[in-house]
Amino acid sequence: MKIVCSKENLLEGVNIVSKAIPSKTTMPILLCILIEANDGRIKLTANNMELGIETIIDGEISENGIIALDAKFFGDMVRRLPDGFITIENDSSMKTTITCSQTQFSLLAKTGDDFPYLKHLDKSDSMVLSQFTLKELISQTTFALSDKDTNKIMTGEYFHVKENKLMAVALDGHRISIRNILLNDSYEEKKLIIPGKTLNEISKILSGDPEKEVRIYIEKNNVMFEFDNTIIISRLIEGEYFDVDKMITDNYSTRVDVDRQSLFNCIERSTLFIKEGDKKPVVVNFTENNAEIKIRSEIGAFNENIDIAKKGEDLTIGFNPKFIMDVLKVIDDDTISMCLMGSKAPCFIRDEEKNYIYIVLPVNFNSN
Amino acid sequence: MKIVCSKENLLEGVNIVSKAIPSKTTMPILLCILIEANDGRIKLTANNMELGIETIIDGEISENGIIALDAKFFGDMVRRLPDGFITIENDSSMKTTITCSQTQFSLLAKTGDDFPYLKHLDKSDSMVLSQFTLKELISQTTFALSDKDTNKIMTGEYFHVKENKLMAVALDGHRISIRNILLNDSYEEKKLIIPGKTLNEISKILSGDPEKEVRIYIEKNNVMFEFDNTIIISRLIEGEYFDVDKMITDNYSTRVDVDRQSLFNCIERSTLFIKEGDKKPVVVNFTENNAEIKIRSEIGAFNENIDIAKKGEDLTIGFNPKFIMDVLKVIDDDTISMCLMGSKAPCFIRDEEKNYIYIVLPVNFNSN
């Protein structure tokens, strides 16, 4: 194989596929990026068996061929080379040289014979989102996923497509994120649970350009995302998802409108005396036009009052401060609405149109 | 005690004295910042018994007093408070409240009765540098100090003042940094060894303003730095320093002039295949107008040629790449000169005027 690419193109490609390199594995070949040069195309591929990524990069092929290079060293070599055109060439013993101007790295490549190639999905059943919408959706929901494998379904995000609507749901048993998106076209009903890790890696690769599309293809156990020059294939999580409609209610006895940034700053401050894993709740006392936010630990106490607009009953409720902050971080609105039904019932943070619904369960607190 | 300061002033003061808070200690009081309000002055002090720092901050005193507050929590509270004026007040039980607008933290302070107060040095013997010069000097030399306590003297930087000259020397047995500074005044001869940690903390506090002075006072075992509103007192390292003049020579058989940034980039690249602690040398082969830079490990090989101007004999020499990079990082000149006397002799990197002399010992290599 002999190819020439610009450093910029090569580095972009390596960065994209490296998202599918596992941090550890018992199969050394999975730590490699497969470089294929044939049919006039240079393709990079990585595959951690859950998630596979391939991308086509611009460049010139002098000699067709296939090699597999350790992803970490390959990336570091490309990053450290001077700007310019990079030549990658291997001899029959798989000794590979990577050259740019007066600089040359050499190392042994693998043949890639044992590399697990990606199988593309059938393209009959697809849906389309803009890169912007998908990137936003991911950042606005996946934080609520569980990172524990004890309940596999909670590590995945539920996509429910019905006609021209997509509902995305993430939950971990303590909180729920729901985003409702209007699609440009109508589709047959689809329900799928996409691993959170897949979505988070895709989000890093997506440009976020509202003018660019992502095409999503779905098969029974797999999903394929196609955008720009890149294809990402992931397993789906099997199983029946929770009944989301049952979790949502429009009943509330207290509604509080509050400046999002003020509330965020206040709750962030409140956590100062709380050690990680301390499970100390922040206690919020909603009265007329005022929220008093308190937290108390062995180290010290915090107290702050912020302005609110309240309708309905006064209420004191305890929260895990991180859960409230996570929600406030991903909402764009300047003012948010909290809908409450008492100190033991979930708190709903949502907009009028229900483009977003965040549900946070309360935490018991000792009133003091 | 009751005082009011702007968040900005208070935070600056806390950041300054926090440099003398130990990372661990058997004396809990050393983890505190002492706040003294009397004689119309608000003074913050911290002292880790090697290094003590005090600084005066602007503010209003409503009630004189002294308290000691945990430095970490105090700093975090001030940082998290909104911008504005902060009130610090304690009651007779040492319950201390820190208030800004609608936000209040409270925690228990210590009395500071067991706090080790700083003893100021006699001001009869002093010297003056600009803040810029001292800050530069520290960043250009201390990297060559030893971080191992096995030879205490190598953890300290040697200051030798003679007439209107200051020579600063740092060495760790493998390399030497020397900077020669012209002073505005002449002084009696002084020799002192200042702990590297002291200098590095001072460097973080110095503004680097060429118009602002640092006044340095010296006693037998202590040194005091005075600048802006801050006083820093440190122990000196006892002992006789190495004979620096004996280490310097003007004999060389090869002189190489090379573009500093090109050499740095090349050596940085060369380390890719070297694991931390591998002790693999980078091998440099100086020939007419060319330096070939090579490194080889089990993982792979690196090779690059860069342009040089050489006088004298051809030479192949091995270096610890980090040691050469450390030197190249702190020199401002675009072109540097390397003076060499063979593959077993130290390499001198220095300017004509000998404002700086860096000496790096070579490393054995297998020519291949």
For residue A272, give the nearest of B73, B108, B302 by CB distance: B73
Q: How far apart are CA B288 and CA B277, in angstroms?
A: 33
pLDDT at A367: 54
pLDDT, tens digit, 9 for 90 and up, residues B42-82 = 999 999 999 999 999 999 999 999 999 999 999 999 999 99
DSSP states of B175-198: EEEEEEEEEEEEEEEEEEEEEHHH
Could you tell me which residues are beta bridge partners of residue B159?
B168, B192
Angle subtended by helix axes A71-80 and A7-17, to nearest 10:
150
Q: Considering only CB atoms, which chain A residues are within 8 Å of B268?
A: 80
For residue A104, give the nearest of B265, B303, B306 by CB distance: B303
A224 neighbors A120 (Cβ within 8 angstroms): yes
A360 neighbors A327 (Cβ within 8 angstroms): yes
Residues 116-145 of B with CB under 8 A from A: none
Which residue in chain B has the smallest CA separation from A83? B265
pLDDT at B368: 47
CB contact under 8 A, B272 and A106: no
CB contact under 8 A, B306 and A272: no
Q: Which of B80, B91, B298 to mutate to test the interface with A (most CBs of A within 10 A)?
A: B80
pLDDT at A100: 97
Q: Which residue has the tokens 């941090």?
A: A23
CB contact under 8 A, A272 and B300: no
Which residue in chain B has the smallest CA separation from A267? B80
> Which CA distances in Å does A352 have to A329, A338, A358, B92?
19, 11, 13, 52
Our CA angle for A144, A147, A152, nearest 5°, is 100
Whether the per-residue pLDDT at B367 is higher than 70: the answer is: no
B87 neighbors B63 (Cβ within 8 angstroms): no
CB contact under 8 A, A301 and B105: yes
A294 neighbors A283 (Cβ within 8 angstroms): yes
Q: How far apart are CA B224 and CA B119, in angstroms?
A: 10
A60 neighbors A41 (Cβ within 8 angstroms): no
pLDDT, tens digit, 9 for 90 and up, residues B209-243 = 999 999 999 998 999 999 999 999 999 999 999 99
Q: How far apart are CA A36 and CA A88, in angstroms?
A: 12
pLDDT at B279: 80
Angle subtended by helix axes A260-270 and A321-329, to nearest 10:
150
What's the CA dihedral at A351, A353, A358, A359 to 10 degrees?
100
Q: Closest approach of chain A CAs to the CA of B213, in angstroms?
A: 38
CB contact under 8 A, A299 and B73: yes
pLDDT at A368: 47
- The answer to whether A103 contacts chain B (CB < 8 Å) is yes
Which residue in chain A has the smallest CA separation from B105? A302
The neighbour count for residue B147, using CB atoms within 10 Å, is 9
Q: How far apart are CA B349 and CA B356, in angstroms?
A: 8
> Which CA distances in Å does B168 have to B139, B241, B242, B358?
12, 12, 12, 12
pLDDT, tens digit, 9 for 90 and up, residues A215-274 = 999 998 999 999 999 999 999 999 999 999 999 998 999 999 999 999 999 999 999 998
Q: Considering only CB atoms, which chain A residues are within 8 Å of B299?
A: 73, 107
Q: Residue B278 — pLDDT band, cuts 50, 70, 90?
A: confident
Beta strand A32-38 with A41-47: parallel, antiparallel or unpaired? antiparallel
Which residue in chain B has the smallest CA separation from A82? B265
Q: Give the residue-averaged pLDDT of A7-15.
A: 98
Q: Give the residue-averaged pLDDT of A274-284.
A: 86
Q: What is the DSSP letter of A79?
A: H
Tokens, residue A115: 């590399």
Q: How far apart are CA B202 and CA B235, in angstroms?
A: 13
- Tell me how many residue pairs between chain A and chain B have CB atoms under 8 A apart: 74
Q: How far apart are CA A281 and CA A366, in angstroms?
A: 9
Tokens, residue A182: 């209007």
CB contact under 8 A, A80 and B304: no
CB contact under 8 A, B103 and A304: yes
Percentage of the residues of chain B whose pLDDT score is greater than 90: 94
Q: How far apart are CA B105 and CA B89, in angstroms?
A: 11
ipTM: 0.88
Q: Residue A144 — pLDDT band, cuts 50, 70, 90?
A: very high
pLDDT, tens digit, 9 for 90 and up, residues A189-225 = 999 999 999 999 999 999 999 999 999 999 989 999 9
Helix, strand, coil share of chain B (percent; to 5): 25, 45, 30
Q: Closest approach of chain B CAs to the CA of A102, in angstroms?
A: 5
> Which CA distances in Å does A112 have to A233, A265, A277, B195, B230?
19, 52, 45, 55, 63
Q: Which residue has the tokens 């450290």?
A: A80
DSSP states of A84-145: SEEEEEE-TT-EEEEEETTEEEEEEPB--TT--PPPPPPSSSEEEEEHHHHHHHHHHHGGGS
Q: Closest approach of chain B CAs to the CA of A100, in angstroms?
A: 10
Q: Considering only CB atoms, which chain A residues are within 8 Å of B300?
A: 73, 105-108
Q: Closest approach of chain B CAs to the CA of A76, in angstroms?
A: 7
Q: Give the residue-averaged pLDDT of B133-145.
A: 98
Angle subtended by helix axes B196-205 and B131-141, to nearest 10:
130
Q: Residue A279 — pLDDT band, cuts 50, 70, 90?
A: confident
Residues 40-99 of A with CB under 8 A from B: 73, 76-77, 80-82
Q: What is the DSSP letter of A199?
A: H
pLDDT at B277: 75
For residue B299, give the nearest of A107, A265, A269 by CB distance: A107
pLDDT at A183: 96
Q: Residue B359 — pLDDT band, cuts 50, 70, 90?
A: very high
A329 neighbors A267 (Cβ within 8 angstroms): no
Q: Is B28 exposed, middle or buried (0-12, 13-18, 19+ CB in 10 A)?
A: exposed
Residues 300-359 of B with CB under 8 A from A: 300-306
Whether the per-residue pLDDT at A334 is higher than 90: the answer is: yes
pLDDT at A60: 98
pLDDT at A366: 73
- The answer to whether B285 contacts chain A (CB < 8 Å) is no
For residue A107, give the nearest of B107, B269, B300 by CB distance: B300
Q: Considering only CB atoms, which chain B residues are within 8 Å of A302?
A: 103-106
A69 neighbors A78 (Cβ within 8 angstroms): no
Q: Considering only CB atoms, which chain B residues are within 8 Å of A73?
A: 272-273, 299-300
pLDDT, tens digit, 9 for 90 and up, residues A42-100 = 999 999 999 999 999 999 999 999 999 999 999 999 999 999 999 999 999 999 999 99
For residue B80, give the nearest of A106, A268, A303 by CB distance: A268
- The answer to whether A269 contacts chain B (CB < 8 Å) is yes
pLDDT at A43: 98
